[in-house]
Structure 1
């Protein structure tokens, strides 16, 4: 989900590049269908992974928003498109802009599409129209909305210790907030552990599809999570969030818009090559250094500055 949300801005740039054209996304059916229902793309070509796509009708544009290797670029080259947009890849004979490792994911893909003639930027990440915000012109959590706690992540390196998530959830519940614990079906044991130790909390582990999760985050007072998909959803929906970073620095994946709504906690060195393995099998030391009191201080600060955002 995080990769899909980072792709919203460049996809909007592609609409500007080719206005009136049909925008078809090759992606897994679940996340692709979700983006189509949100109106970000017009249709989805369901693909389970890097598989041949078949020929593209003459004159159409193929765009590689997948990565920087010859695997995905080669698949698109094989479709014989009228135009191919992608980063420089000599292995398949494609010339394009250079890939920079130390670059925010959104800036990277917006740079690619903007260079091709489709201007776009971080503001295009939004799934919430700024015109729908509160009369004061700022945004905040929905009054009375739940506090969403998402303790999981795809790899152990990005999972903050469960006992600390439990302490955070319990403190928020004891302060009178309605707490909802979210996670995938594979994280059901984790969400059950946190919810079971938090009086009054709702365990939504494995119970929400992407549409339901979007509705939950849209109506939330606050989202707390590690560096994972739901954090990017909170950014896109202008829902306040506290995001805990570990092996990957925030300058690569942190929120780029509405800084007053999002607190990022990270104990790496911003002036050094301070990153680790996001797929590691033990918690990253930068993430492990984040303290429970830091997370609660950020959470209560954001909750206390609720500006009364309205929803439609």
Structure 2
């Protein structure tokens, strides 16, 4: 029996998960979300997250019943603080009378005190052991944060700690007919699908990215083998994408700034390969089972990289000072799929 049912004396009916982070962070937690829903199929499960995640909740309706926007909190950098909205948010959450709140934000610094203010009957999550603030609200429901664990496995371990059966570590990203319609409405779509194509994503949220000149050389090498190069990115990344295109010798198609998460997923699912920095789209490729080569400039692949080394290649920045290693790994993956390279 799970710990919540044991402590409460009944099966939880109202559960809230707090994870107010970016798309890659939420994708890495999907195996844990899946286990939570299977353990409590009749519960009303809410996700408290950043405004963008309303789309995520709609896509994962099998796991979540409601999206609750998080207005920010002092010390948490992901969302600008509006004190009046935060106070109103806390008051509203207390009125929800949650049976359970799960803190899946991180190691628990700052946030553990905040989630207690949500007023749930039981609150669970991680607590920090390698930080000056070692606040553990309840040793029965809070496990030591494992800093060296892979992000996907970390959240699955939390479920297991709470007595919730888990299945596997596989990511998933449901695609819809609406995603297909938006992707196929792209002005470049008819050109994209004429022959096998690869996606190049040179942007990312990291302060340091693999150089545009390196992406251009890698893209040219793939184009020379007959692949159409499709450059992807968000609207703020359009300048970075254009820098890559201008340095290429072969033509490339750009959908930067023209896709949302779902239509990008549809484009990516149809591609032969993704080449990108370590950012959200790399996790999307894992979820869609699209082969990828990912360059890690600031994060650790042991913590954030794909768990399938046959389908995905992770390369540290120090190993990619020139594009040759990246090109080599991309060619190996494409050859493995049976394409002539």
Task: Give, in angstroms, the shift of residue 59 of structure 1.
Answer: 5.3
In structure 2, the partner of 1:60 is: 99
The separation in 1 between residues aligned to 2:221 and 2:287, in whole angstroms, is 27
In structure 1, the partner of 2:7 is: none
Indicate which of 207, 228, 233 corresponds to 2:284: 233
In structure 1, the partner of 2:184 is: none
**Cα shift readout 1:167-205 (whole Å, capped 9, x = no counterpart):** 111221222111111112111111011123333311122
The separation in 2 between residues aligned to 1:146 and 1:47, in whole angstroms, is 38
Number of paired residues? 275
The separation in 1 between residues aligned to 2:255 and 2:168, in whole angstroms, is 30
In structure 2, the partner of 1:123 is: 169
Following superposition of structure 1 onto structure 2, how do residues 122-141 of structure 1 map, counting pairs within 5 Å?
A: 122-127=168-173
In structure 1, the partner of 2:242 is: 192
The separation in 1 between residues aligned to 2:135 and 2:174, in whole angstroms, is 40
State which structure, 1 or 2, has the greater radius of gyration over its C-alpha atoms: 2
Alpha-carbon distance change, 246 to 287 in structure 1, aligned in 2, over 3 angstroms? farther
The separation in 2 between residues aligned to 1:32 and 1:7, in whole angstroms, is 16
2:87 is aligned with 1:36: no
2:337 is aligned with 1:306: yes
RMSD across aligned positions (CA): 2.5
The separation in 2 between residues aligned to 1:167 and 1:289, in whole angstroms, is 12
Task: Give, in angstroms, the shift of residue 8 of structure 1.
Answer: 0.9
In structure 1, the partner of 2:9 is: none
**Cα shift readout 1:20-47 (whole Å, capped 9, x = no counterpart):** 2122111123233224224342221122
Question: Does the 8 Å contact 1:148/1:223 carry over to 2?
Answer: yes
In structure 2, the partner of 1:248 is: 299
Alpha-carbon distance change, 15 to 200 in structure 1, aligned in 2, over 3 angstroms? same
**Cα shift readout 1:223-265 (whole Å, capped 9, x = no counterpart):** 0111111111111111000111233221111111x33211111
The separation in 1 between residues aligned to 2:95 and 2:246, in whole angstroms, is 52
Question: Does the 8 Å contact 1:9/1:110 carry over to 2?
Answer: yes
Q: Which runs of 5+ in 1 are unaligned?
A: 130-141, 267-285
Q: Which secondary structure state, in structure 1, belongs to the residue aligned with residue 227 of structure 2?
A: coil
Indicate which of 123, 146, 149 corresponds to 2:197: 146
2:141 is aligned with 1:101: no
Question: Does the 8 Å contact 1:180/1:202 carry over to 2?
Answer: yes
Task: Give, in angstroms, the shift of residue 162 of structure 1.
Answer: 1.0
Alpha-carbon distance change, 56 to 66 in structure 1, aligned in 2, over 3 angstroms? farther
The separation in 1 between residues aligned to 2:151 and 2:53, in whole angstroms, is 18
In structure 1, the partner of 2:121 is: 82
Task: Give, in angstroms, the shift of residue 75 of structure 1.
Answer: 2.3
Q: Which secondary structure state, in structure 1, belongs to the residue aligned with residue 164 of structure 2?
A: coil
The separation in 2 between residues aligned to 1:83 and 1:144, in whole angstroms, is 54
Alpha-carbon distance change, 73 to 144 in structure 1, aligned in 2, over 3 angstroms? farther
Question: Does the 8 Å contact 2:59/2:174 carry over to 1?
Answer: no
The separation in 2 between residues aligned to 1:22 and 1:259, in whole angstroms, is 37
Higher strand share: 2
In structure 1, the partner of 2:259 is: 208
Indicate which of 61, 68, 76 corresponds to 1:45: 68
Worse overlay, 98-107 or 51-60 = 51-60
In structure 2, the partner of 1:297 is: 328
2:159 is aligned with 1:113: yes
Task: Give, in angstroms, the shift of residue 91 of structure 1.
Answer: 3.1
Q: Which secondary structure state, in structure 2, belongs to the residue aligned with residue 86 of structure 1?
A: strand
- Normalization by structure 2: what TM-score? 0.74
The separation in 2 between residues aligned to 1:227 and 1:186, in whole angstroms, is 17
**Cα shift readout 1:100-157 (whole Å, capped 9, x = no counterpart):** 211111111111122112233653423379xxxxxxxxxxxx9944201011121233
